[in-house]
Amino acid sequence: MTFEQVSFFVLAAVALASGLGVILFRNAVYSMLSLILNLLSLAFFFLMLNGMFIATIQVLIYAGAVMVLFLFVVTMLTSDNASVGGRDRLRWQWGAGFFLAVIFAGSLSLALLQGSVARDACSFDPQGCLAAQVAKNGNTETFGLALFHAYSFPFEVTSVLLVIAVLGAVVLGQRALRAGREAPLEQNGATERETEEVANAR
Amino acid sequence: MPVSAYLIVSALLFTIGAVGVLVRRNPLVMFMSIELMLNAVNLSFMAFARFLNSVEGWIFVFLVLTVAAAEVVVGLAIIVSIFRTRRNIDVDELSLLKG
């Protein structure tokens, strides 16, 4: 076996085991850490597929920033609430879920094994295909050229989406504050009430 | 490795995520399963970008990453606000749309 095959199988085993860990751990914090391991193993897959820049932003943004936000909320909500730990009242759901999963994974794998990949871009466009561009310009520059020239409009729409998400989070947080008691007017009272609410939750 | 090897790993990860959404009753773990599915799709986009030699796969992964970040922010805000009003976030008990 070549080095690529060995690393592929090791990474695939890590990715699938940590993926199973996400849904099998009873404690949500363990699931979270398992998910971070899964994201890191996917970043190594991206490296194997010559996507160095994407692997870097996967580690920095996804496994770093997004998952830290996630972990904050998980630890905030699971610390002392036993019902959050995931007691299952419907045991048969596991059997039904596993049955559907076998059907789904089997049909997907069958479709993947029977299909064939379309033509490689390098066979009809040897100058402009990805491998040639990466060899000429480097990994990050190829991505940047594509993102800011051919795909600049989707990139701008992405910024609008992020602004909407930030505004939505602020509005949701504000409404939850006001629901606690009658509309807190001054900032100071709001933060005091906030700490009081957290203390009540303990 | 052929492209189908990567795609099968991606399909299995997607299936694990779908099962997680179906069987787990903790909304945080269901959310993590959604992240798992998004990342499985990212893996197949990267595999196609490599084997079809086109940069569109990378662009899609970038956009999926951004959408996932926005989704995490809004979804966690919703879960936190539900927790504040109900003190309990088991999805089986959240049967009313109005608190």
Q: Give helix A187-201 / helix A152-180 axis angle, nearest 10°.
A: 80
- Chain B from 2 to 61: CB within 8 A of any A CB: 3-9, 11-20, 22-26, 28-29, 31-33, 35-36, 39, 42-43, 46-47, 49-56, 58-59, 61
Among A3, A8, A18, A23, which would you mutate to test the B interface (most chain B Cβ atoms within 10 Å of its Cβ)? A23
Q: Is the pLDDT of residue A196 over 70?
A: no
Q: How far apart are CA A49 and CA B2, in angstroms?
A: 11
Q: Give helix A92-114 / helix B3-23 axis angle, nearest 10°.
A: 160
Question: Which of B18, B25, B67 shows the shortest C-beta gap to A86?
Answer: B25
CB atoms A104 and B47 under 8 Å: no
A11 vs A175 pLDDT, higher one: A11
Under 8 Å between Cβ of B15 and A104: yes
Q: Write down the pLDDT at residue A11.
A: 94
Mean pLDDT of A153-177: 87
pLDDT grade for A156, boundaries at 50, 70 and 90: very high
B20 contacts on A by Cβ (under 8 Å): 22-23
Q: Write down the pLDDT at residue A194.
A: 52
Assigned token pair, A165: 């998400």
Tell which phi-psi region holds residue A50, choosing left (phi > 0), alpha (psi between -120 and 50) or beta: left
Q: What is the mean pLDDT of chain A?
A: 82
Say yes or no: B63 contacts chain A, CB-CB below 8 A: yes
CB atoms B28 and A81 under 8 Å: no
Residue % of chain B over a pLDDT of 90: 58
Among A64-68, A184-188, A197-201, the minimum mean pLDDT is found in: A184-188
Q: How far apart are CA B18 and CA B28, in angstroms?
A: 14
Q: E strands along A47-169, which residues? A: none
Which value, to the nearest 10 degrees, does the dihedral of the CA atoms of residues A46, A47, A49, A50 take?
120
pLDDT tens digits along B78-99 = 888 888 777 777 777 777 766 5
CB atoms B15 and A57 under 8 Å: no
pLDDT tens digits along A45-70 = 999 999 899 999 999 998 888 899 99
Whole-prediction pTM value? 0.84
A8 contacts on B by Cβ (under 8 Å): 1, 5
Q: How far apart are CA A115 and CA B44, in angstroms?
A: 14
A198 vs B77 pLDDT, higher one: B77
pLDDT tens digits along A21-54 = 999 998 889 999 999 999 999 999 999 999 899 9
Residue % of chain A over a pLDDT of 70: 80
CB atoms A121 and B14 under 8 Å: no
